[in-house]
Amino acid sequence: MAEEKAKVLIIGSGPAGYTAALYASRANLRPILFEGDQPGGQLTQTTEIENFPGYPEGVQGPEMMEHFRQQALRFGAEIKSRTIDKVDFSKRPFYCVDDRGDEYYADTVIISTGASAKYLGLPDEDKYKGLGVSACATCDGFFYRKKNVAVVGGGDTACEEALYLSTLAKKVYLIVRRGVLRASDVMQKRVKERENIEILWNCNTLGLYGEDGVEGAHVVEFAGTDKERKFDIEIDGFFVAIGHTPNTSLFKGQIDLDENGYIKVHGIHTSTNVEGVFAAGDCADPHYQQAIVAAGSGCRAAMDAEKFLMEH
């Protein structure tokens, strides 16, 4: 069992973690970053990324994350392909243990563990992930210009995704499992007034079909009742908009989380309720959840950590 000390320990990779490592390295803080069980985060499961500045022709998600990683390494970040399994933020230096049992004492910690999109749990979602199945209309909507798509969900997120896609796609099906929307009145009104959005009430998705990608969805209306009806819709894209789950269970009881598990940060800063612990990226962002926003917050977290170390 080894023991190490760090001025900055970063838990999680992705745009936020790697950017935090880059900035902390350039400040000569010699950060140690733990990539976790999904190095590079959610973007490593994404194909073409066209909305990140600096890539005018677009870039594959895994390739972009490797660029981030190599830039952090270039300036001296130490990157470990391990996970942190235990933390103790009750006193400084903070105590962390990785999946091999090695112990770390850190003057500051930056949490950038991200969030995971919720899916329906259909086998076809895995089969067609990156081939028509997405959990981010802002990321992938451009690929479905003048095509037919479906959005699953009934809350504000689903309505926002449907409205966004309606500006690009020929037609948008909004698949709602109930007879009402849970979205705000304003969002409901906008969706119902948009001509190319068709709401499929009381419907659930049974599966997807297609040869080289999504070509349609099997849908059931009024499942389990005497009015049950099964039918297919022809679509090229299937967007799941039923929310995200922040990857923060490790920190429950250690720092303040909101009712949905997102880390609470203070105002424009990335500081948590524990002095010296900072949070960046989707694990502290229930609103935007975009790579460019996560990268920016990683920069801020590193700068906040640097200021903290200077003052203490």
**312 residues of the chain, pLDDT tens digit each:** 789 999 999 999 999 999 999 999 999 999 999 999 888 888 886 667 888 999 999 898 899 999 999 999 999 999 999 999 999 999 999 999 999 999 999 999 999 999 988 899 999 999 999 899 999 888 889 999 999 999 999 998 899 899 999 999 999 999 999 999 998 899 999 999 999 999 999 999 999 999 999 999 999 999 999 999 999 999 999 999 998 899 999 999 999 999 999 999 998 899 999 999 999 999 999 988 889 999 999 999 999 999 999 999
Measured between alpha carbons, how far is 41 from 182 in angstroms, rounded to an integer?
30
The model carries a pTM of 0.80
- Which residues are part of the catalytic machinery? 136, 139-140
Measured between alpha carbons, how far is 204 from 230 in angstroms, rounded to an integer?
10
Measured between alpha carbons, how far is 235 from 217 in angstroms, rounded to an integer?
7
Question: Residue 51, Cα to own-chain centre: how many angstroms?
Answer: 15
Cβ burial, residue 123 (10 Å; 0-12/13-18/19+): exposed
